[in-house]
Structure 1
């Protein structure tokens, strides 16, 4: 009897533990973990990785890269590609892609596994319209697999972009199979299941991922959209999810300029950043751009732009004759200050060519960008950390300074609401710069001034400020 009782007790404890584990991994409890006892949001652990990364890239690659024509998004969304065997990157080298991203300073890279044609650039058992259908590499090529291996080889965190909002082959427009017939309704349900199965395939096939990105979102799982978030959370629990109408681990910053507006708060009034019925409304767009200092959810900002966005171009995919569209270095540095320097993460869109290589001019510009960011941020005159509304920074000698970097310890939330930086000059204390949001990182430049001491003065806060880093620089501005 004692043995039977022990067995019963052990089984009961097993069921209790299983129930606790399931509760802890549920989406609702997942969001609860991002609230603290003082009722303002804090980031989840995987969101901290997002902030620490600061710089990332997304590689766009699809069938139409090989047609020798200028890309037309409108046509691409409605016209299926007839000759998919034109996809033939004879010199494909994903190592070269990732080396270019690493030289830029990127900490993560994302690949478009599928985009608006519906074609999948990996070995899919779900999507027949994939590399398995090609003559290239005898139908055995796997660009997503090669990409992930290259990321891990060079210490870059891999992410996967899944495009489901448009599918020109299957006739899906803005998530919807056109028509009201029984045929259209059945196709709609099939497409929902197809997207869910493709998601499960991608998040289980390639190991731990940094993010899964649904461009244009994955729609409403209670409406036309597939229910993909639980699939991602279950199979890749440390992966960033972006996004559907119910959840987002970060938000689009309101433009494709590579910049965000200031102030830029990481908090948001809802647990998601996308609502297709509000996207065109000014109020929602302003929320995307600025966040909400009183928001109860941690949904930090993303700034994105294609590298080939200069001279009137804005191209996410390679096109012939666009070599002069690569942004000048000074424009990229301006993006950096207006994204990373405003508490956002910057993602640059990169475009491998039909050979399967990053163009030489693009690679060189990324190297220049990475080097310049290091020059501007890696060698402070002096740094300090601390807690409280006044942080003093004493220099070893009186000298010229012209830039500060401030970082809160965001593990404890964004607590600063208004601040100023003062410098002790020969004529007394002088305000050098001021602002509102700080968050993970705030970078500000000002006119060169000779000082012996600086102080960060927090004039408004919701809790004791926790300053992870307060650094001052003498940078060469060119």
Structure 2
């Protein structure tokens, strides 16, 4: 009997007996609201861009469209919902009204809607069919309502805020529970266009009153835009964001389209993103403590197109294959300290496959180590880390180790963990692996520490320092955000930054987010147009620009080196061009690369 008890004690990590329940670690503010927590745990959400642009073959409508153009021949919202559900998405967002002002529901406050279209004799309601289909499929529901309205005559006046709140009220009272309301800040009116001062606080008040559990995204207090439309978060993406003298819980959403455009265009059927690119996006959004919002636009029939559906099926299969077998599940786990010596917080809780249990260290600790013994050597190249974020985000600095050849070897380092970090490591064969929390806010706590052998190698980070960094352009083509400055730093040679036809001089500024020493640049134009340009740099936002390189013609594949220079901000300043500059990619590299 004594031997059996000794074995049991060892299996539990040699925990001493405790009297009474041990209190959980104190939350480390800020912490997510229940709605934010539920939203982050969805991990993957879907966007449906659908409306008059689907039928005009445009990205941004002008509000002058005849509603008669909207006439899907076989609209099936159940197909949308079924496809989303089968692919593992937990919430779907519909563009109830885009910038053209056309409403996919029979709004009482405008004639620019489905009620004046031939679809279903003017009695149809896309929002109704969408919400019904989502509930049937047990999917959460999101509504996109564009603040910018190019059709509404009162846009640009105080009356428009009342109009907008009327439409918001319709959507939030007539269609049951809404889980996410999505506002963007797009406005292409230009310097001489209408100026609308949006009553954001008033809009939020309507949502909080009518749908108090809904998260308000992007131009909202609950969810923030990650800063690009390539679906990629930064390494160490944190949900804790500084605001004034304090901090708030403001998790990131990574939006990207499965095609080059946001609305359906038949000419893009052959340009659906490859599986490897989508899997890379998944790893760099969901795998970086963010939620992936993938746009899949219905076609003119009102169906998700076959190439898109096929790619979503492939993506689901690839994710399932990648995360099929957690080599660490149920294996022996030990920690350098366990909270109160209690089994409730034992190291085993980090390998039990449950997000609602966790290992926790003792009060006062700001570092800790958890070790897994697989029993026999096994090969892995992907590590899953998750914190119990209901108690706040804790890790500030960590490393992953494996015992190889009798010595502990560092495989990867990181900072924030949050809801989930999927960390690619070199293919490693080892019996033991460890997570070392080097620095934490409060007591270290880990909900999951998993090891996987991925059939696809995790791609290395692109060497370009501008890749997926915040970008701002002085001019963007009127075609919309598909031509935004971020397209020149998204690592995708199928998307581009484009300027208006009359533009000959412009600039693209990129925040590298930390000071780097750079010594090479690359410019990839759609076609040779630039005839004179400068690469400008500065270390502080308010510092004057300095010229690091001056050039003449660029072209489709221009590269040049220059004397090493420190920079936090870089700007491609195009001084002269033969026609509107259009650039696939703008890259800068560290000196010596």
Coarse TM-score class (shorter-chain normalised): 0.7 to 0.9
The answer for the alignment partner of 2:67 in structure 1 is 84
Correspondence 1:44 to 2:36: no
Contact 1:267–1:295 under 8 Å retained in 2: no
The answer for the alignment partner of 1:343 in structure 2 is 289
Correspondence 1:407 to 2:358: no
Correspondence 1:255 to 2:228: yes
Correspondence 1:469 to 2:448: yes
Correspondence 1:64 to 2:29: no
The answer for the alignment partner of 2:401 in structure 1 is 422
2:213 aligns with one of 234, 238, 246: 238
Compute the displacement of 1:367 (Å): 0.6
Q: Secondary structure at the match of 2:385?
A: strand
2:95 aligns with one of 112, 123, 128: 112
Compute the displacement of 1:393 (Å): 1.3
Compute the displacement of 1:396 (Å): 2.8
Q: Secondary structure at the match of 1:318?
A: coil
Relative distance call for 1:39 and 1:442 in structure 2 (3 A) is closer
Partner Cα distance (2:122, 2:159) in 1: 26
1:440-451 equivalence runs, <5 A: 440-451=419-430
Deviations 1:325-381 (A, max 9, x none): 200000000001111111000011111111111110110001100111111124211
The answer for the alignment partner of 1:225 in structure 2 is 199
Contact 2:289–2:417 under 8 Å retained in 1: yes
1:90-109 equivalence runs, <5 A: 90-109=73-92
Aligned-pair Cα RMSD in Å: 2.1
Relative distance call for 1:224 and 1:97 in structure 2 (3 A) is closer
Q: Secondary structure at the match of 1:361?
A: helix
The answer for the alignment partner of 1:322 in structure 2 is 268
Count of residues paired in the alignment? 391
Deviations 1:420-475 (A, max 9, x none): 11112223211111111100000012122111111110001121111110111122
- Which structure is larger by alpha-carbon Rg, 1 or 2? 2
Q: Unmatched 5+ residue regions in structure 1? A: 1-35, 178-187, 272-293, 309-313
Partner Cα distance (1:466, 1:454) in 2: 17
Partner Cα distance (2:420, 2:48) in 1: 26
Compute the displacement of 1:38 (Å): 6.9
Q: Secondary structure at the match of 1:322?
A: helix
1:284-433 equivalence runs, <5 A: 296-308=247-259, 314-383=260-329, 384=351, 385-388=358-361, 389-433=368-412
Contact 1:112–1:160 under 8 Å retained in 2: yes
Contact 2:183–2:218 under 8 Å retained in 1: yes
Partner Cα distance (2:26, 2:205) in 1: 27
Partner Cα distance (1:138, 1:397) in 2: 68
The answer for the alignment partner of 2:495 in structure 1 is none
Give TM-score scaled by structure 2 length.
0.63
Partner Cα distance (2:418, 2:397) in 1: 12
Structure with a larger share of its residues in strand: 2
Relative distance call for 1:460 and 1:39 in structure 2 (3 A) is closer
Compute the displacement of 1:138 (Å): 1.8
Partner Cα distance (1:270, 1:424) in 2: 42
Correspondence 1:196 to 2:178: no
1:159-170 equivalence runs, <5 A: 159-165=142-148, 167-170=149-152
Partner Cα distance (2:307, 2:28) in 1: 49
Relative distance call for 1:450 and 1:382 in structure 2 (3 A) is same
Contact 2:384–2:421 under 8 Å retained in 1: yes
Relative distance call for 1:90 and 1:434 in structure 2 (3 A) is same
1:444-459 equivalence runs, <5 A: 444-459=423-438
Compute the displacement of 1:136 (Å): 1.6
Q: Secondary structure at the match of 2:162?
A: helix
Work out which structure has the larger RCO, using CA pairs closer than 8 Å and 6 or more positions apart in sequence.
Answer: 1
Compute the displacement of 1:223 (Å): 4.5
The answer for the alignment partner of 1:30 in structure 2 is none
Correspondence 1:142 to 2:125: yes
Relative distance call for 1:217 and 1:298 in structure 2 (3 A) is farther
Q: Secondary structure at the match of 2:39?
A: helix
Contact 2:67–2:114 under 8 Å retained in 1: no
Contact 1:39–1:296 under 8 Å retained in 2: no
Compute the displacement of 1:243 (Å): 4.8
Deviations 1:159-207 (A, max 9, x none): 1100122x222257xxx52xxxxxxxxxx12211010111111111111
The answer for the alignment partner of 1:274 in structure 2 is none
Partner Cα distance (1:374, 1:72) in 2: 33
Contact 1:307–1:348 under 8 Å retained in 2: yes
The answer for the alignment partner of 1:4 in structure 2 is none
Contact 1:159–1:210 under 8 Å retained in 2: yes
Compute the displacement of 1:39 (Å): 6.4
Structure with a larger share of its residues in helix: 1
